[in-house]
Amino acid sequence: MTVLGAVCLPQLPSERLRDLARVADDAGLDELWLWEDCFWGSGVATAAAVLGWTERLRVGVGLLPVPLRNVALAAMEIATLHRLFPRRVNIGVGHGVQDWMEQVGARVESPVTLLREHLVALRALLAGEQVSVDGRYVRLDAVALDRPPASPPAVLAGATGPRTLRMCGEAADGTILTAGTTPGGVRQARRLVDEGRVTAGRTAPHPLIVYLLAATGPGAAGRLDAELRRAGQEPDPELTIAGDARTVAEAVRRWADAGAGTVVLQPTLDDPDPEGFVRFTAEEVRPLVP
């Protein structure tokens, strides 16, 4: 079954988050995904709040930028969320936007090396292991969590380029793809991730999660075109979907058929009704997606 989620953009004022989370829970949304974008707000803090306000909703954080986070601290926070809310949390980590990382003095020479080192250490810590490592960026001396999760959680990683996608197959438990990924891009990502899995001798399932920029209601297509132009891209029907529930569901199936196990609908920055977008995803699109 395809998992269907929706993004709550970090630009939404924090004081509106409770109402949106409760709408998502009441509507039966599969997953609500949060971002840790500089300098809007913390992904971990918002995830904890949403989980506490809801009963069944699964929450994803995609993603935590590893240059900003010591791996021991990341492990402590992720472990706490999993112990408080078992089976309701998906956490992804990634390079972060390099301009932002430079802005805060955290940019590194080799983002791929840092992400690999972070993933290896993070997965080991969350599995309850004692970790000592003296890497290029990650350094730990006999560090172990006193309260790891009851069972090791999946650690996801965000990726775009071929090197990072292969590395995700080697070192992550799943991969998050941006809203700039076409169905063909999903298929290519699957191939590159699988090359990494083969290299590392890994056989466990490795899900792909993809964001899909979507809009519905009056002016939907125009809002999507404007969103792409804000990002420096030309309008492209292969990257976005505008329309009613049936049209959006057909697009979700295209991305799912290309290899995405989870499709997360991402509203435009100027969506006039974020709560309505969540209801639309859960109540109108979800029943049409196998």
CA distances from 148 to 64, 93, 107, 242, 270 (A): 19, 18, 29, 43, 40
Domain ranges within the chain, ordered by starting residue: 3-288
Residues 43 and 96: their CA atoms lie apart, in Å, by: 13
**SS3 assignment, position 91:** strand
Residues 102 and 79: their CA atoms lie apart, in Å, by: 28
Of 238, 231, 60, whose CA–CA distance to 158 is shortest?
60
Residues 282 and 31: their CA atoms lie apart, in Å, by: 9
Retrieve residue 228's tokens: 């792409």
Pairing of strands 155-158, 139-143: unpaired
CA distances from 143 to 120, 125, 146, 243, 268 (A): 13, 8, 9, 51, 42
Span 3-288 CATH architecture? Alpha-Beta Barrel (3.20)
pLDDT tens, per residue, the chain with 290 residues: 999 999 999 999 999 999 999 999 999 999 999 999 999 999 999 999 999 999 999 999 999 999 999 999 999 999 999 999 999 999 999 999 999 999 999 999 999 999 999 999 999 999 999 999 999 999 999 999 999 999 999 999 999 999 999 999 999 999 999 998 999 999 999 999 999 999 999 999 999 999 999 999 999 999 999 999 988 888 888 899 999 999 999 999 999 999 999 999 999 999 999 999 999 999 999 999 99
